[in-house]
Amino acid sequence: MTYRIIGLCLATTIGLSPVAPGQTVLIPATSNRVTPTVHAVNQVLPSVVNISTDRQIIVQYKYQIGAVTYRSRPQADHRQSLGSGIVIDQQRGLVLTNDHVVKQAHRIIVTLADGTNHAATPIATSAASDLALLILDDFLPRVAVKDIRFAVPGDVLLGEVVIAAGNPFGLGHSVAEGIVSAVGRNKELNGVYYHDIVQTTISINPGNSGGPLLTLSGEIVGISTFTLNPEYFGLTSIEGLGFAVSEETISAVLPDLRAGSQITTPPDILG
Protein backbone atom coordinates (compact mmCIF):
# COMPACT_ATOMS: atom_id res chain seq x y z
CA MET A 1 0.00 0.00 0.00
CA THR A 2 1.25 3.47 -0.86
CA TYR A 3 1.61 5.94 1.99
CA ARG A 4 2.04 9.66 2.16
CA ILE A 5 4.50 10.92 4.76
CA ILE A 6 3.34 13.96 6.67
CA GLY A 7 6.05 15.70 8.70
CA LEU A 8 5.64 17.08 12.22
CA CYS A 9 5.33 20.71 11.11
CA LEU A 10 2.56 19.93 8.64
CA ALA A 11 0.80 17.46 10.91
CA THR A 12 0.45 19.96 13.72
CA THR A 13 -0.58 22.73 11.35
CA ILE A 14 -3.46 20.85 9.76
CA GLY A 15 -4.61 19.22 12.98
CA LEU A 16 -3.48 15.62 12.56
CA SER A 17 -2.57 13.43 15.49
CA PRO A 18 0.40 14.84 17.46
CA VAL A 19 3.71 13.07 17.04
CA ALA A 20 7.00 13.24 18.85
CA PRO A 21 9.75 15.46 17.42
CA GLY A 22 11.58 13.78 14.57
CA GLN A 23 8.76 11.34 13.87
CA THR A 24 6.41 11.30 10.91
CA VAL A 25 2.79 10.39 10.35
CA LEU A 26 2.09 7.66 7.79
CA ILE A 27 -1.26 8.10 6.08
CA PRO A 28 -2.40 5.77 3.28
CA ALA A 29 -2.48 7.60 -0.05
CA THR A 30 -5.99 6.27 -0.54
CA SER A 31 -7.25 7.80 2.71
CA ASN A 32 -10.04 10.33 2.27
CA ARG A 33 -8.12 12.54 4.71
CA VAL A 34 -5.54 13.24 1.99
CA THR A 35 -7.61 15.92 0.29
CA PRO A 36 -6.30 18.14 -2.51
CA THR A 37 -5.58 20.76 0.16
CA VAL A 38 -3.47 18.35 2.22
CA HIS A 39 -1.61 17.23 -0.90
CA ALA A 40 -0.85 20.80 -2.00
CA VAL A 41 0.29 21.84 1.50
CA ASN A 42 2.53 18.79 1.85
CA GLN A 43 4.09 19.67 -1.50
CA VAL A 44 4.67 23.38 -0.89
CA LEU A 45 5.11 24.00 2.85
CA PRO A 46 8.78 22.90 2.99
CA SER A 47 9.55 25.79 0.61
CA VAL A 48 7.77 28.43 2.72
CA VAL A 49 10.03 30.50 4.98
CA ASN A 50 9.64 32.79 7.97
CA ILE A 51 11.36 36.17 7.82
CA SER A 52 12.40 38.37 10.74
CA THR A 53 14.03 41.77 10.34
CA ASP A 54 15.74 44.42 12.41
CA ARG A 55 15.54 47.97 11.16
CA GLN A 56 16.64 51.33 12.43
CA ILE A 57 14.43 54.32 11.83
CA ILE A 58 14.74 57.96 12.82
CA VAL A 59 11.84 59.15 14.96
CA GLN A 60 10.88 62.52 16.36
CA TYR A 61 8.31 62.82 19.12
CA LYS A 62 5.91 65.69 19.66
CA TYR A 63 4.77 66.89 23.06
CA GLN A 64 2.75 69.84 24.19
CA ILE A 65 3.12 72.20 27.12
CA GLY A 66 0.16 74.50 27.37
CA ALA A 67 -0.56 75.88 23.92
CA VAL A 68 2.96 75.29 22.66
CA THR A 69 3.92 72.15 20.72
CA TYR A 70 7.53 70.97 20.96
CA ARG A 71 9.45 68.34 18.99
CA SER A 72 12.16 66.15 20.40
CA ARG A 73 15.53 65.81 18.74
CA PRO A 74 15.59 63.14 16.01
CA GLN A 75 16.75 59.86 17.45
CA ALA A 76 17.32 56.32 16.26
CA ASP A 77 14.74 53.69 17.12
CA HIS A 78 15.13 49.97 16.51
CA ARG A 79 12.14 48.04 15.21
CA GLN A 80 11.59 44.34 14.61
CA SER A 81 9.08 42.87 12.21
CA LEU A 82 7.97 39.50 10.90
CA GLY A 83 6.95 38.23 7.50
CA SER A 84 6.92 35.25 5.18
CA GLY A 85 8.39 34.22 1.86
CA ILE A 86 8.74 31.38 -0.61
CA VAL A 87 11.86 29.72 -2.04
CA ILE A 88 11.63 30.03 -5.82
CA ASP A 89 15.15 28.84 -6.71
CA GLN A 90 16.58 26.30 -4.31
CA GLN A 91 19.86 25.98 -6.20
CA ARG A 92 20.70 29.64 -5.64
CA GLY A 93 18.71 30.06 -2.42
CA LEU A 94 16.37 32.76 -3.77
CA VAL A 95 13.35 33.82 -1.74
CA LEU A 96 10.44 35.95 -2.97
CA THR A 97 8.62 38.15 -0.46
CA ASN A 98 7.03 41.59 -0.09
CA ASP A 99 9.16 44.71 -0.28
CA HIS A 100 7.53 46.13 2.85
CA VAL A 101 8.62 43.04 4.82
CA VAL A 102 12.32 43.84 4.33
CA LYS A 103 12.26 47.56 3.59
CA GLN A 104 14.95 49.54 5.45
CA ALA A 105 16.08 46.38 7.26
CA HIS A 106 19.74 46.25 8.24
CA ARG A 107 19.45 42.60 9.27
CA ILE A 108 17.28 39.89 7.69
CA ILE A 109 17.01 36.36 9.07
CA VAL A 110 15.17 33.66 7.12
CA THR A 111 14.01 30.50 8.90
CA LEU A 112 13.41 27.44 6.75
CA ALA A 113 10.84 24.76 7.47
CA ASP A 114 13.60 22.54 8.90
CA GLY A 115 14.28 25.19 11.56
CA THR A 116 17.63 26.39 10.21
CA ASN A 117 18.31 30.14 10.15
CA HIS A 118 20.08 31.99 7.36
CA ALA A 119 21.06 35.60 6.96
CA ALA A 120 19.65 37.05 3.74
CA THR A 121 20.45 39.95 1.45
CA PRO A 122 18.09 41.66 -1.01
CA ILE A 123 19.14 41.14 -4.62
CA ALA A 124 16.61 43.71 -5.80
CA THR A 125 13.31 45.22 -4.75
CA SER A 126 10.26 46.72 -6.41
CA ALA A 127 8.67 49.28 -4.13
CA ALA A 128 6.12 49.99 -6.87
CA SER A 129 4.89 46.38 -6.83
CA ASP A 130 5.76 45.60 -3.21
CA LEU A 131 7.99 42.67 -4.14
CA ALA A 132 11.54 41.79 -3.11
CA LEU A 133 13.94 39.01 -4.03
CA LEU A 134 16.38 37.79 -1.37
CA ILE A 135 19.41 35.51 -1.54
CA LEU A 136 20.25 33.31 1.43
CA ASP A 137 23.77 33.23 2.80
CA ASP A 138 25.46 29.83 3.27
CA PHE A 139 22.49 28.01 1.76
CA LEU A 140 22.78 24.43 0.55
CA PRO A 141 20.04 22.85 -1.59
CA ARG A 142 17.69 20.56 0.33
CA VAL A 143 15.80 17.60 -1.05
CA ALA A 144 12.57 18.71 0.63
CA VAL A 145 12.76 22.27 -0.72
CA LYS A 146 11.31 22.34 -4.22
CA ASP A 147 11.14 25.12 -6.77
CA ILE A 148 7.46 26.01 -6.65
CA ARG A 149 5.66 26.43 -9.94
CA PHE A 150 3.96 29.68 -10.87
CA ALA A 151 0.49 29.57 -12.36
CA VAL A 152 -0.11 30.93 -15.84
CA PRO A 153 -0.60 34.71 -15.46
CA GLY A 154 -4.31 35.48 -15.28
CA ASP A 155 -5.25 31.86 -14.66
CA VAL A 156 -7.16 32.36 -11.42
CA LEU A 157 -10.87 31.62 -11.17
CA LEU A 158 -13.48 33.50 -9.20
CA GLY A 159 -14.62 31.14 -6.44
CA GLU A 160 -11.53 28.92 -6.79
CA VAL A 161 -10.19 27.38 -3.58
CA VAL A 162 -6.80 28.81 -2.63
CA ILE A 163 -4.32 28.30 0.21
CA ALA A 164 -2.25 30.92 2.00
CA ALA A 165 0.93 29.79 3.77
CA GLY A 166 2.97 31.94 6.10
CA ASN A 167 4.08 33.00 9.56
CA PRO A 168 1.13 34.71 11.29
CA PHE A 169 2.08 36.48 14.52
CA GLY A 170 5.43 34.68 14.44
CA LEU A 171 3.78 31.32 15.16
CA GLY A 172 5.70 29.58 12.41
CA HIS A 173 4.64 27.70 9.30
CA SER A 174 0.85 27.79 9.09
CA VAL A 175 -1.74 27.44 6.36
CA ALA A 176 -5.26 28.72 5.78
CA GLU A 177 -7.82 27.95 3.11
CA GLY A 178 -10.38 30.17 1.42
CA ILE A 179 -11.68 31.13 -1.98
CA VAL A 180 -10.93 33.82 -4.53
CA SER A 181 -13.64 36.41 -3.94
CA ALA A 182 -12.55 38.99 -6.53
CA VAL A 183 -9.85 39.58 -9.13
CA GLY A 184 -8.57 42.69 -10.84
CA ARG A 185 -8.83 44.91 -7.78
CA ASN A 186 -6.91 48.19 -7.69
CA LYS A 187 -5.97 49.72 -4.35
CA GLU A 188 -3.60 52.40 -3.09
CA LEU A 189 -2.11 51.78 0.34
CA ASN A 190 0.77 53.54 2.09
CA GLY A 191 1.92 55.14 -1.12
CA VAL A 192 1.89 51.90 -3.15
CA TYR A 193 -0.62 51.51 -5.97
CA TYR A 194 -1.56 47.84 -6.18
CA HIS A 195 -2.83 46.96 -9.64
CA ASP A 196 -4.82 43.86 -10.51
CA ILE A 197 -4.58 42.34 -7.03
CA VAL A 198 -6.39 39.19 -5.95
CA GLN A 199 -8.97 39.37 -3.15
CA THR A 200 -9.64 36.26 -1.06
CA THR A 201 -11.62 35.22 1.99
CA ILE A 202 -8.39 34.46 3.87
CA SER A 203 -7.51 36.93 6.62
CA ILE A 204 -4.01 38.39 6.34
CA ASN A 205 -2.54 38.66 9.83
CA PRO A 206 0.73 40.32 10.84
CA GLY A 207 3.52 38.01 9.68
CA ASN A 208 1.56 36.57 6.72
CA SER A 209 2.81 39.21 4.29
CA GLY A 210 5.14 37.79 1.66
CA GLY A 211 3.81 34.22 1.88
CA PRO A 212 2.52 32.41 -1.21
CA LEU A 213 -1.10 32.18 -2.29
CA LEU A 214 -1.52 28.77 -3.88
CA THR A 215 -3.97 26.78 -5.96
CA LEU A 216 -4.88 23.21 -5.06
CA SER A 217 -2.35 22.21 -7.71
CA GLY A 218 0.37 23.82 -5.60
CA GLU A 219 0.98 26.67 -8.06
CA ILE A 220 1.58 30.27 -6.97
CA VAL A 221 -1.17 32.67 -8.03
CA GLY A 222 -0.11 35.52 -5.76
CA ILE A 223 1.88 36.78 -2.79
CA SER A 224 -0.22 37.56 0.31
CA THR A 225 0.26 41.23 1.08
CA PHE A 226 -2.30 43.12 3.16
CA THR A 227 -5.79 43.49 4.56
CA LEU A 228 -7.75 46.65 5.29
CA ASN A 229 -7.39 48.71 8.45
CA PRO A 230 -10.53 48.07 10.54
CA GLU A 231 -10.20 51.42 12.31
CA TYR A 232 -10.85 53.17 8.99
CA PHE A 233 -14.31 51.62 9.01
CA GLY A 234 -14.89 52.14 12.73
CA LEU A 235 -14.38 48.43 13.45
CA THR A 236 -12.12 46.54 15.83
CA SER A 237 -11.30 43.77 13.36
CA ILE A 238 -11.88 42.61 9.80
CA GLU A 239 -12.16 38.90 9.09
CA GLY A 240 -12.37 36.92 5.90
CA LEU A 241 -10.61 39.50 3.75
CA GLY A 242 -7.12 39.49 2.30
CA PHE A 243 -5.31 40.78 -0.77
CA ALA A 244 -2.41 39.34 -2.74
CA VAL A 245 -0.08 40.68 -5.42
CA SER A 246 -1.16 38.83 -8.55
CA GLU A 247 0.84 36.41 -10.67
CA GLU A 248 0.57 38.90 -13.57
CA THR A 249 2.53 41.44 -11.54
CA ILE A 250 5.00 38.82 -10.29
CA SER A 251 5.76 37.53 -13.80
CA ALA A 252 6.23 41.08 -15.08
CA VAL A 253 8.64 42.07 -12.30
CA LEU A 254 10.54 38.89 -11.46
CA PRO A 255 12.96 38.85 -14.43
CA ASP A 256 14.22 42.32 -13.48
CA LEU A 257 14.50 41.31 -9.82
CA ARG A 258 16.58 38.28 -10.80
CA ALA A 259 18.82 40.58 -12.81
CA GLY A 260 19.32 42.79 -9.76
CA SER A 261 17.37 45.77 -11.10
CA GLN A 262 15.71 48.12 -8.64
CA ILE A 263 12.19 48.89 -9.88
CA THR A 264 10.57 52.19 -9.03
CA THR A 265 7.67 52.28 -11.51
CA PRO A 266 4.70 49.90 -11.73
CA PRO A 267 5.02 47.15 -14.36
CA ASP A 268 3.12 47.42 -17.62
CA ILE A 269 0.91 44.35 -17.49
CA LEU A 270 -1.97 45.67 -19.54
CA GLY A 271 -0.69 44.17 -22.78
Spatial distance between the Cα atoms of 123 and 190, rounded to a whole number of angstroms: 23
Q: Is 195 a catalytic residue?
A: no
- Please, are residues 182 and 163 in contact by the beta-carbon 8 Å criterion? no
pLDDT score recorded for residue 58: 63
| pLDDT score, position 108 | 96
Per the annotation, the verdict on 209 as an active-site residue is yes
Q: d(Cα 111, Cα 35) in Å, to the nearest integer?
A: 27
> Choosing from 100, 118, 173, 195, which is the catalytic residue?
100
Active site residue 100: yes
Q: Single out the residue of 269, 258, 216 nearest to residue 131, CA to CA.
A: 258
Cβ–Cβ under 8 Å, residues 178 and 158:
no
In sequence order, which residues have a C-beta less than 8 Å from that of residue 214 and are 6 or more positions away?
A: 40, 44, 148, 162, 163, 164, 165, 220, 221
Instruction: Specify which residues 185 forms β-bridges with.
Output: 197
Grouping H, G, I as helix, E, B as strand and the rest as coil, residue 207 is coil
Query: Which among 257, 223, 222, 247 has a CA at the least distance from the CA of 126?
Result: 257
Cα–Cα distance between 185 and 229 in angstroms, integer? Answer: 17
Q: Is 13 helix (H, G, I), strand (E, B) or coil?
A: helix
Determine if the pTM surpasses 0.85: no
Per-residue buried b or exposed e for 66-86, using 16+ beta carbons within 10 Å of the residue's own CB: eeeeeeeeeeeeeeebbbbbb
What is residue 267's predicted lDDT score, i.e. its pLDDT? 60
DSSP assignment of 25-64 equals EEEETT-TTS-HHHHHHHHHGGGEEEEEEEEEEEE--EEE
Catalytic residue among 118, 126, 129, 130: 130
Rounded Cα distance between 178 and 62, Å, is: 43
Q: Assess contact for 241 and 227: CB atoms under 8 A.
A: yes
Q: Give the active site residue among 47, 126, 209, 224.
A: 209
Q: What is the pLDDT along the chain (271 residues), one digit of tens a residue?
A: 444 444 434 443 344 444 444 444 556 666 788 899 999 999 999 999 999 998 666 666 776 777 778 777 776 656 677 899 999 998 899 999 999 999 989 899 999 988 999 999 999 999 889 999 999 998 888 877 887 889 998 889 999 999 999 988 888 889 999 999 999 888 887 777 888 899 999 988 888 999 999 999 999 999 999 887 666 656 666 778 899 999 999 999 999 999 987 766 656 543 3
pLDDT value, residue 195: 85
